[in-house]
Each structure stands twice: as structure tokens, then as C-alpha cells.
Amino acid sequence: MAIANLLLVDDEKPFVEAIVRRLTKRDVNVIVAFSGQEALERLEEHNIRFLNIGSSTKPLRLLHTICFRKPTCYYSLLFGE
């Protein structure tokens, strides 16, 4: 049984695959979205969020929308070059 449900959002497939492998080994149920729009479509399915948004998306707008729809969830934004 999973200890948490996680939504991972990133446009870099190798990064996503690596994170999913590691979290799955730790009994975390990981659902993947490769865009902000896809993340919003999957929003209703999960109670914990891990967000890593690429520069092609507007991360703060996405975070605002998610916080409005699911105010009791946990969020994390990671940015990298």
C-alpha cells in the first residue's frame, strides 16, 4: 500500500523517470504529468503534490490554480538551469 500519492510535473522525461523509480521503491504512488495543463487535468486524483515545472510553463500561475482548487495539499516547486 502506498504511503502517499504524488503528482510529479516536469517536461524532462529522464528526470521524471529517475524520480519515479526512486519514489516507487519507497512505496510512493507517483502520477506523472509533462505539462501544466496535464497536471490540472490530474489534479482531482491526488492529495499530495510535488511540482517541478519547466521554464516553458508559468509555474506560479499553475501553483496558484492548484492551491485554489486543493488548499489542503502540500506543494514544492523546484527550479533549475
Q: Which is it for strands 4-9 and 28-33: parallel, antiparallel or unpaired?
A: parallel
CA 29 to chain centre: 12
Ranges of residues in the chain whose predicted pLDDT is under 70: 47-57, 78-81
pLDDT for 49 = 59
pLDDT for 26 = 92
pLDDT for 57 = 58
